Amino acid sequence: MKPLLEVKNLSVSFQVYSGEVQAIRDISFEVRKGEAVAIVGESGSGKSVTAQSIMRLNPSPPSWIKPGSSIKFDGMELLNLSEKEMQKVRGNKIGMIFQDPMTSLNPTLTVGDQIMEGLIKHQGVSKGKARERAIEMLNLVGIPNPASRLKQYAHQFSGGMRQRVMIAIALACNPSLLIADEPTTALDVTIQAQIMRVMKDLQNKLDTSIILITHDLGVVADVCDRVIVMYAGKIVEQGTKWEIFKNPQHPYTKGLLRSLPRLDQKKDEPLIPIFGTPPDLIKPPAGCSFCARCDEAMEVCVANSPDLVDIEGSESQRAACWLLHPYAKGEVPV
């Protein structure tokens, strides 16, 4: 089956006062129809820039998508579309939800009007039909008394309810892809779990593909089929959720997992954070970007950047680490 979304050799930079920040450096990945993929990494790893590039929402200038990059959605090269054509894709074919529902919702419009807006604009449906659909959507995301809630404003909803409204808006036009950028980061843990459930249920019901962007590997387990781990603007590992959780290969992925609380955690067993900070992307290291923080770094890692290699015995797992390259075997840690 052809992938719904095909990102190939995507590189994105930002111009800042002190130089060019290479925010994304040659990443490639796919999302298939009906699949939920998580993009995980620390802040600054390039996750949000990836999402914004797919939506063509990166401010340009100061940012630009480099020549040779390709983002194909449903067979269509998004990077060749005019802004007008892109507006028909946004909200209609690709929906997006952001971290902070308070700033993404319009405080001066009722929630109903905001759900109906896209339907009327993109799909040309009547006001009556749009209202029916808005009620149906609020119902689907689990908001009680949808008909009366429709007339209310964002400030009349709690944080969790506002994020449900955002999901209703994003999915009202039945897009084939939903991009959720840290959708639960601003919410407390129980509400986070509820919102993730809502997203998963809707994905099953509507067969929407999802890209879930998060810094927290812990939230992806329930929702996602596949995980992409980003570090310093590159993909360092990808695989099915189970491959990543049960058999991580990249030292950074292993570090992320060690820093997560576990169910079988002993009371006094500490979580181990990943020490250090990511490299400066104005002058990214010539070798492995994780080198300065990696306990297993070898001489080869310093000057040479490892490519992604297939993990033996898996059809989907790949990681970019010299430990996995046969000819680097025998190297000693530095």
CA–CA distance, 210 with 181 (Å, rounded to integer): 11
Work out the widest C-alpha separation in the chain, in whole angstroms: 70
Q: Which residues make up the interface to ligand SF4 (CB under 6 A)?
A: 250-251, 288, 290-291, 294, 296-298, 301, 306, 321-323
CB of 297 to ligand SF4, least distance (A): 4
Q: How far is the CB of 106 from Mg ion (least distance, A)?
A: 22
Q: Which is nearer to ligand SF4, 16 or 303 (CB)?
A: 303
Closest approach, Cβ 328 to ligand SF4, in A, equals 8
Q: How far is the CB of 213 from Mg ion (least distance, A)?
A: 7
265 or 277: CB nearest ligand SF4? 277
Shortest spacing between CB 279 and ligand SF4, in angstroms: 12
Which of ligand SF4, Mg ion, none binds 74 (CB below 5-8 Å, type-dependent)? none
Nearer to ligand SF4, 99 or 253 (CB): 253
Please, what is the angle between helix 111-123 and helix 127-140, to 10°?
120
Token digits of residue 139:
């119902």
Q: Which pair of structure tokens corresponds to residue 284?
A: 């990214």
Q: Which does 301 bind (CB under 5 to 8 A by kind): ligand SF4, Mg ion, none?
A: ligand SF4
Give me the residues paired with residue 12 across strands: 24, 65
Give dist(CA 306, CA 319) in Å, integer.
9
Q: How far is CA 271 from the centre of its chain?
A: 25
Q: Which residue number places its CB atom closest to Mg ion?
A: 48
Q: Nearest Cα to 162, choosing from 108, 208, 99?
A: 99
Q: Cβ closer to Mg ion: 45 or 208?
A: 45
Nearer to Mg ion, 210 or 321 (CB): 210
* Residue 211 contact among ligand SF4, Mg ion, none, beta carbon within 5 to 8 Å by kind: none
Ramachandran sector of residue 207 (left: φ over 0; alpha: ψ -120 to 50; beta: rest): left
- The residue ranges that bind Mg ion (CB under 5 A) are 48
| Rounded CA separation 160/148 (Å) | 18
User: Which is nearest to 198 in space by CA: 226, 228, 162, 145?
Assistant: 162
| Burial class of residue 228 (count of CB atoms within 10 Å of its CB; 0-12, 13-18, 19+) | buried
Strand partners, 95: 178
Report, in Å, the least distance between residue 44 CB and Mg ion. Answer: 8
60 burial level (CB within 10 Å; 0-12, 13-18, 19+) = exposed
Nearer to ligand SF4, 130 or 288 (CB): 288
Q: State in angstroms the smallest separation of the CB of 303 from ligand SF4.
A: 11
DSSP H helices, 172-248, are 189-206, 241-246
Give the nearest distance from C-beta 181 to Mg ion in angstroms.
Answer: 6
Euclidean distance between CA atoms 282 and 333, whole angstroms: 27
Q: Which is nearer to ligand SF4, 187 or 297 (CB)?
A: 297
Binding partner of 48, given Mg ion, ligand SF4, none, CB within 5-8 angstroms per partner class = Mg ion
297 binds, among ligand SF4, Mg ion, none (CB under 5 to 8 A by kind): ligand SF4
C-beta closer to ligand SF4: residue 24 or 323: 323
Partner that binds at residue 294, options Mg ion, ligand SF4, none, CB closer than 5 to 8 Å by kind: ligand SF4
How far apart CA 165 and CA 233 sit, in angstroms, is: 31
Residue 14 interacting entry, from ligand SF4, Mg ion, none, C-beta within 5 to 8 Å by type = none
Please report where in the chains the tokens 């998060």 appear, as a residue. 214
